[in-house]
Structure 1
């Protein structure tokens, strides 16, 4: 596998500047840019397989959202929220200077794309929401909250891979080689072992959300979704516990009236490693 180019950009937060890292695939001069944004506890290298598959037609950019991967950890955990991530991405997009910008976002990365795409004069021209919508099922938040931010450490990559597999059944079937490729960027060396790549404090805003705040947040997200005026593709794992079939169907009827594709044998969330998942997104993005 060829290695991507590594870059970073300085973003402004509530307590000064922080560095957001990203990797880039394909021709650096290509004016067609595809940004791929990862889920809550993940990082940009999740998209390696998908990015390589798309790099013949796009300059593919995969950021590590603040607090994850190679990006800086924030001194104020209150910054680990969608509006702040949207602001960081605006800074990144200014750096990229794309003539045509498309967005693929998994879970949290989809909500960031929704926030960006719904802004007046947004540069986003096509949007792919991967297993996420304005209404997020509480059972999924409870499941994620149970493991997010735990102080874990492993003696080997294989041991870490087994643990990550145990909390990621929704990702669907992968070969051991595919799973190890998804696991290695999730780890940081820690003495003679490994720990997770992210700031444990990313869990704090999630744990602080009240039912009232969740309801208000969903209303804001639906308002943003209804404001979208761009072609939108919605992917759903048929067994997803985060994006219900009811919510997905509603998303096909309102706002941009998303095209819905469901993948059998997958929950939350498709990893865009399987050929059928890649081809579904590719066909949508490259259609006139």
Structure 2
């Protein structure tokens, strides 16, 4: 396959998958308090344009989706397109990822900065209490928002993430993403996609192609496609991955219903963590077999389960397993 073939395929796929969304931007002010790597006398508030996708009518209940460390907002297209019939869905591109602007210094890419970006989007859209859905890093940020601003969050969906992530897992992930990759031929992109997504379960490769397309962009200076993010953001994450991630204090303060989606092959969400989380009332766990960290949330069965839980948090059993839809048989890259 050539890049010309690749572009032809994507021009057919993308209008179908992304139909119904609008790409929006807003000005986020990155405060001086979130600039630890800058000499204090030189710190000043500055603005960055952040991108988000918007689906459905603003009159519907809001659902805000937050991706992982290297994800783009378009990763949620399958989920957002379906749920936009019942919800006003917004999906955020973190600063330095997707179609958002970049921060001034590597050290500005902090966890606290991610929390500030979520609160800024909620204020910008003047949203009432929202359902927060977070995958990996997005789930960690969502827990902090729910703990510190409980009046803004009425439901919490955590996609394969809990209040504890062991250091070794964080290091492995950080080392794999904090590198500059150049894909000069589609085969190289497919190889990397297949290696990174080998534990994504029986997902049709249209999903994987869609996700990798929006996670990368053409770079004329590199003569190929590169990841659509500021490598400094991922290097900052790597620098902070030298210790366990512990949010049990945040978890204790969360008082809204929680749905925990568990990829049963995950190395990030441990059984002991799940058991401790289930000690809290109003926590529902949905186990997904044959998949690792952060299920893609593109399967109709999984999307429908999330829709039913958002409508009625007691609609699902407190601890259950859900399978996959039949027919994901175009497995080209793995």
The question of whether the paired residues in 2 share the 8 Å contact of 1:102 and 1:124 is answered with yes
The separation in 2 between residues aligned to 1:151 and 1:121, in whole angstroms, is: 38
Q: Post-superposition shift, 1:264?
A: 0.6
1:7 corresponds to: 24
The separation in 2 between residues aligned to 1:21 and 1:137, in whole angstroms, is: 31
Q: Post-superposition shift, 1:251?
A: 0.7
The question of whether the paired residues in 1 share the 8 Å contact of 2:150 and 2:255 is answered with no
Q: Does 1:118 align with 2:147?
A: yes
Aligned residues: 281
Q: Does 1:25 align with 2:55?
A: yes
Q: Find the partner of 2:310 among 268, 282, 285.
A: 285
Structure 2: where are the runs of 5+ without partners?
A: 1-15, 33-43, 314-334
The separation in 2 between residues aligned to 1:175 and 1:127, in whole angstroms, is: 27
The separation in 2 between residues aligned to 1:122 and 1:100, in whole angstroms, is: 6
Decide whether aligned partners of structure 1 residues 259 and 4 sit closer, same or farther in structure 2, where only a CA change above 3 A counts.
same
1:190 corresponds to: 219
Q: Does 1:270 align with 2:295?
A: yes
1:84 corresponds to: 113
1:82-161 matches, cutoff 5 A: 82-157=111-186, 159-161=188-190
Give per-residue Cα distances to partners, 1:109-147, cap 9 Å, x unaligned.
111111111114431100000001111023321221222
2:279 corresponds to: 253
Q: Does 1:200 align with 2:231?
A: yes
The separation in 2 between residues aligned to 1:43 and 1:3, in whole angstroms, is: 17
Decide whether aligned partners of structure 1 residues 222 and 101 sit closer, same or farther in structure 2, where only a CA change above 3 A counts.
same
The question of whether the paired residues in 2 share the 8 Å contact of 1:139 and 1:241 is answered with no
Provide TM-score, normalisation by structure 2: 0.80
**Residue aligned with 1:118, SS:** helix
The separation in 1 between residues aligned to 2:148 and 2:100, in whole angstroms, is: 25
The question of whether the paired residues in 2 share the 8 Å contact of 1:69 and 1:198 is answered with yes
What stretches of structure 1 move > 3 A for 4+ residues in a row?
156-159
Stretch moving more, 174-183 or 125-134: 174-183
Give per-residue Cα distances to partners, 1:60-112, cap 9 Å, x unaligned.
10010111000011111122222111111111001222234111110011111
CA RMSD of superposed structures (Å): 1.7
The separation in 2 between residues aligned to 1:210 and 1:268, in whole angstroms, is: 17
**Residue aligned with 1:122, SS:** helix
Q: Post-superposition shift, 1:245?
A: 1.2
2:67 corresponds to: 38
2:93 corresponds to: 64
The separation in 2 between residues aligned to 1:210 and 1:153, in whole angstroms, is: 24
Decide whether aligned partners of structure 1 residues 56 and 152 sit closer, same or farther in structure 2, where only a CA change above 3 A counts.
same
Q: Post-superposition shift, 1:18?
A: 1.1
Structure 1: where are the runs of 5+ without partners?
A: none
Q: Post-superposition shift, 1:39?
A: 0.5
Q: Does 1:237 align with 2:263?
A: yes
**Residue aligned with 1:169, SS:** coil
2:40 corresponds to: none
